[in-house]
Amino acid sequence: MSVVEMSKLTFIGLQEDKLAITEELMKIGLIEVDESYEIPGEMEGLLKSINNTEEIIEIDRNLEKLETVLSKLSAYDKRKKSLFSSRRTVTAKEYEDIRNRSSSLMRVVDFILEAEKSNSQYSSEINRLRNSINNLLPWRELGIPWEVDRTKHTCIIKGVMPSENDFDEVRRILYASVKESCIELLHDDGEQKYMLLIIHADFESKALEIMKKFNFSRVTYKELTGTTADNINRINVKIKELELKQQQEARKVIVDHVRYISELEMLYDSFRIIKEREEAIKKLRGTSRIFILRGWLPSKAAEKVKTAMTSTYTCIFELEKPGEDEQFPVLLDNKGLAESVEMVTEMYSLPDPREIDPNAVMAPFFVLFFGLMLSDAGYGLILALSSGFILWKFRLEKSQKKFLKLMFYCGLATVFWGSLFGSWFGNLVYTVSYGKYSINPLWFDPVAEPEKLLTWSLAFGVVHIYVGIAVKAANLIRQKKYVDAVFDALFWYILFTGAIFSVLSYVPGINTENIEGLGEIGKYLLIVGAVLLILTQGRSKKNPVSKFFSGIGSLYDLVSFMSDVLSYSRLLALGLATSVIGSIINQMGAMMGLNNLFGIFVFALVFVFGHVFNFLINALGAYVHSSRLQYIEFFGKFYKGGGKAFTPLKINTKYTIIENDKEDYLNE
């Protein structure tokens, strides 16, 4: 139910056992290797770090190759995939087998990469040819073979000019000065005009002189023979040939090797494990005979790990408690509801190792606020049933499991609030029965009495914030700062409570008769609280004047408290939006009437699409706004955060799960 206590580990083993020990530790998966060493003075110079950069680079190269090949092969992969992709389980023996065959498998990889290389060469050649067709297309009207550029008396010029020139104008000017010429517009692509010019050989230079004024430039393709159409046909034939070759030579290799995909996936994972191992080894120090590993492991598993290690290897396994102010990596250990909201907290920040893990306190608020904002029992039912079904039917990764569990609890909370408010898919029963029946709310209908729910929303907010202040007090008491707990929690309670009592009579929907006298009490509490805070909040300052002013300044927190409380009105607004939109969808669906087949069909269509949309947008809103209420209004009161996650040395694979015969030392 909290941050797991960690012990500092110093492990000394023999160099010859190094590989076996690091692999063993990876299987146990409970030790984070620390790199920051304080080497005692007399040992300095004796302990050296281990240089295995070369090996790591080599592994990285192999991983990269495998990644490329796997992404190519996966396009042709025909294995059945589960909807929620989970990793396959392989036995340790299968895995060992792959490891032994790694060099022959890498040869397969290289072969596929070679094929892939020629595949892309074919592709680029085909692309080049396609481009040359595109260049020729504007000339397809040209019936004269490209190699013919003059006859006995004429010269034949192909060329382009910018499109802004008016062709008729150019032709008029040209014909006016060189009568013995013929100009023809072949194509205009908006940028350039493609033209054919035939001029009497004697006037060639004169005509070109004139054309130059219009930025005319000659186009020649020396390598082309025959007409444009001939050339395009020829290139098309060549493209067909190349495509066929590509299919037969390069693609075929890839398709033929798809059968290797599961082995290559295992190989990829085995390289990942080796990489992890080598990176851990890089953090070790050692002499020629022994090595030292320093790190962290959860205290409650420490003894078991120690027995397991010392019984198999010649080694020293020493444990220490972390120092008073020493930061240790944070591992959370929660059960049930608290565990499922861990990801919400992690999104914000992990707790500081020395503070209370907020998950258990936060979880019920998160789930209840989510439910209040989604607030439709029908939606809640669907959410709970579908996430429950997936949890039951599919094999999932740990993080997916956590999220679905959270959704399951949120769904239940939504059913709870939805039935209190009488909203089941909006007002479905009421609409379908033409107003004859309706599901009555167990508490009250927020659409009819929004003020009542507003008051309650703010009240939930006050409770939430008060709990936040209580956690702050608990943190201070844990650190044995009892006086601070009184000053920074109790005094604020007095002030805030006073403020709430004073404004209570202005809250809509509150019967002023019932709270007579509270306003008076509120005033006194407000004054007492303010005086106490002015006296104590500046205690860190030395100068009495600045003590006083920072005491006064702290009263500004009353304003932020008020705005924090008002922020909870979103509980009402989002909740109301869901049920009102739901009812609108039902009404719109029923517009065609429900006494004919067509009307029922329209209703079903509108019902399904409308409610799916409403559900999605409001569930997203509920999740995010519930998170926000935790992050800003709740965590803001006490949470320090900034913990560094516990990242133990462990087997970290992408495609497979290797059967682990190690028992779980942490939980049992």
DSSP E strand boundaries for 59-153:
88-90
Least separation in angstroms between residue 264's CB and other proteins is 22
Summarize as ranges the residues that interact with other proteins (CB under 8 A).
347, 450-451, 454, 567, 569-570, 572-574, 576-577, 580-581, 584, 617, 620-621, 624-625, 627-628, 631
Least separation in angstroms between residue 326's CB and other proteins is 30
Q: Which residues pair with 168 in a beta bridge?
A: none
Give whichever of 6 and 406 is closer to other proteins, judged by the CB atom.
Answer: 406
Give whichever of 452 and 481 is closer to other proteins, judged by the CB atom.
Answer: 452
Give whichever of 450 and 641 is closer to other proteins, judged by the CB atom.
Answer: 450
Amino acid found at 468: G
Cβ proximity of 181 and 203 under 8 Å: yes
Residue 500: alpha-carbon gap to chain centroid: 41
Least separation in angstroms between residue 507's CB and other proteins is 13
Q: 285 Cβ partners below 8 Å, 6+ apart?
A: 37, 39, 47, 48, 49, 50, 291, 292
Least separation in angstroms between residue 603's CB and other proteins is 18
Least separation in angstroms between residue 450's CB and other proteins is 5
Cβ proximity of 645 and 328 under 8 Å: no
Cβ proximity of 376 and 418 under 8 Å: yes
Give the span between the Cα atoms of 265 and 653, in whole angstroms.
10
CA atoms within 13 A on the CB side of 234: 10
The end-to-end CA distance of the chain, in Å, is 15
Q: 363 Cβ partners below 8 Å, 6+ apart?
A: 337, 338, 340, 341
Give whichever of 383 and 649 is closer to other proteins, judged by the CB atom.
Answer: 383
Give whichever of 208 and 584 is closer to other proteins, judged by the CB atom.
Answer: 584
Give the span between the Cα atoms of 99 and 96, in whole angstroms.
5
Give whichever of 92 and 347 is closer to other proteins, judged by the CB atom.
Answer: 347
Using alpha carbons, list the distances in angstroms from residue 649 to 33, 97, 352, 595, 656.
Answer: 7, 23, 21, 66, 17
Give whichever of 472 and 625 is closer to other proteins, judged by the CB atom.
Answer: 625
Give whichever of 281 and 619 is closer to other proteins, judged by the CB atom.
Answer: 619
Give whichever of 382 and 574 is closer to other proteins, judged by the CB atom.
Answer: 574
Least separation in angstroms between residue 570's CB and other proteins is 5
Q: Which residues pair with 49 in a beta bridge?
A: 285
Classified as helix, coil or strand, 292 is strand
Give the span between the Cα atoms of 582 and 385, in whole angstroms.
20
Least separation in angstroms between residue 586's CB and other proteins is 12
Least separation in angstroms between residue 279's CB and other proteins is 22
Cβ proximity of 186 and 139 under 8 Å: yes
Closest CA to 108 of 73, 159, 57: 73
Give whichever of 57 and 624 is closer to other proteins, judged by the CB atom.
Answer: 624
Residue 287: alpha-carbon gap to chain centroid: 43
Give whichever of 501 and 634 is closer to other proteins, judged by the CB atom.
Answer: 634
Give the span between the Cα atoms of 519 and 499, in whole angstroms.
9
Give whichever of 470 and 588 is closer to other proteins, judged by the CB atom.
Answer: 588
Least separation in angstroms between residue 508's CB and other proteins is 8
Least separation in angstroms between residue 578's CB and other proteins is 10
Q: Give the Cβ contact number of residue 144 at 10 Å.
A: 14
Least separation in angstroms between residue 399's CB and other proteins is 12
Least separation in angstroms between residue 135's CB and other proteins is 26
Cβ proximity of 335 and 361 under 8 Å: no
Whether the CA torsion 201, 206, 209, 213 is positive or negative: it is: negative
